[in-house]
Amino acid sequence: NAGVTQTPKFQVLKTGQSMTLQCAQDMNHEYMSWYRQDPGMGLRLIHYSVGAGITDQGEVPNGYNVSRSTTEDFPLRLLSAAPSQTSVYFCASRKRGDLYNEQFFGPGTRLTVL
Amino acid sequence: AQSVTQPDIHITVSEGASLELRCNYSYGATPYLFWYVQSPGQGLQLLLKYFSGDTLVQGIKGFEAEFKRSQSSFNLRKPSVHWSDAAEYFCAVGAGAGNMLTFGGGTRLMVKP
């Protein structure tokens, strides 16, 4: 199993540009989520999904869109990038019904918005 | 809503010394509790997890954590720190809708030779 994969690893955007961060998992996990990591603030939940076709907002959803058309993929879209979205983005997945609700994280995407 | 506080932003210990990283959470019921470690430029690695049962939890790399309901704490400990333990440590609570994680701000550990 590859686990949770994210592409790209690094990205530089100009203000106003759009892009999609890709996330895929091959563990047949029902739950997937996106977090952003900023210094001193830990990781904060952006959006999450409990299954294909179902998404919901987390703590910091503004400026981001998601969709979940398949169990495996959960892309994160920035429609008009802003410098405040400079961050490291982590995708995670977990299996419904797991006793500990343990989440598995991808390696992250480092995004810089100029 | 749940919250997690890690009071110590930076901690420096000497190699071989003992370590305790503090974590306090706020949640009405018993939460799922986790400690993650992140080395520079790397992703998150799960050290240990707790939901129920024995309140002293053993994890990987010689780490352990103790859940204290009365103090709403889940402190991470290691009896003898190695230079390779230098990293950032995050405490997290799984609770609320979807049991998604709420993280503390992290504690950066430095190890002196």
Per-residue pLDDT in tens (0 to 9) along chain A, 114 residues:
789 999 999 999 999 999 999 999 999 999 999 999 998 889 999 999 999 999 999 999 999 999 999 999 999 999 999 999 999 999 999 998 776 778 899 999 999 999
| Mean predicted confidence (pLDDT) in B72-79 | 96
Strand ranges (E), B1-113: 3-5, 10-14, 19-21, 24-26, 32-38, 45-50, 56-58, 64-68, 73-78, 87-94, 101-103, 107-112
Rounded CA separation A96/A28 (Å): 10
Q: Which residues pair with A23 in a beta bridge?
A: A6
Rounded CA separation A26/B89 (Å): 27
Instruction: Work out the mean pLDDT of chain B and round it to a whole number.
Output: 92
Rounded CA separation B85/A109 (Å): 24
Rounded CA separation B28/A20 (Å): 37
- Copy the structure tokens of residue B63: 């780490």
pLDDT of res. A14? 97
pLDDT higher than 80, residue B99: no
Cα Rg for chain B, rounded, in angstroms?
A: 13
Rounded CA separation B22/B90 (Å): 10
Rounded CA separation B38/A25 (Å): 21
Chain A interface, mutation test: which of B32, B44, B93, most A Cβ atoms within 10 Å? B44
pLDDT of res. A99? 66
pLDDT higher than 80, residue B37: yes
- Give the chain A residue nearest B90 (alpha carbons): A42
Q: How far is CA B112 from the centre of its chain?
A: 20
pLDDT of res. B108? 96
pLDDT higher than 80, residue B54: yes
Place of tokens 């961050």: A87
- Looking at CA atoms only, how far is residue B20 from chain A in angstroms? 19
Contact A40 B106 (CB under 8 A): yes
pLDDT grade for B97, boundaries at 50, 70 and 90: low
Contact B43 A107 (CB under 8 A): yes
| Mean predicted confidence (pLDDT) in B92-98 | 80
pLDDT grade for B2, boundaries at 50, 70 and 90: confident
Nearest to B49 among A31, A33, A100 (CB): A100
Contact A33 B100 (CB under 8 A): yes
pLDDT of res. A30? 94
Q: Count of residues for chain B?
A: 113
Closest of B39, B69, B64 to residue B49, by C-alpha? B64
- Looking at CA atoms only, how far is residue B100 from chain A in angstroms? 8
Chain B interface, mutation test: which of A46, A100, A105, most B Cβ atoms within 10 Å? A100
Nearest to A99 among B42, B51, B90 (CB): B51
Rounded CA separation A86/B38 (Å): 19
Q: Count contacts between A and B (CB, < 8 Å).
A: 57
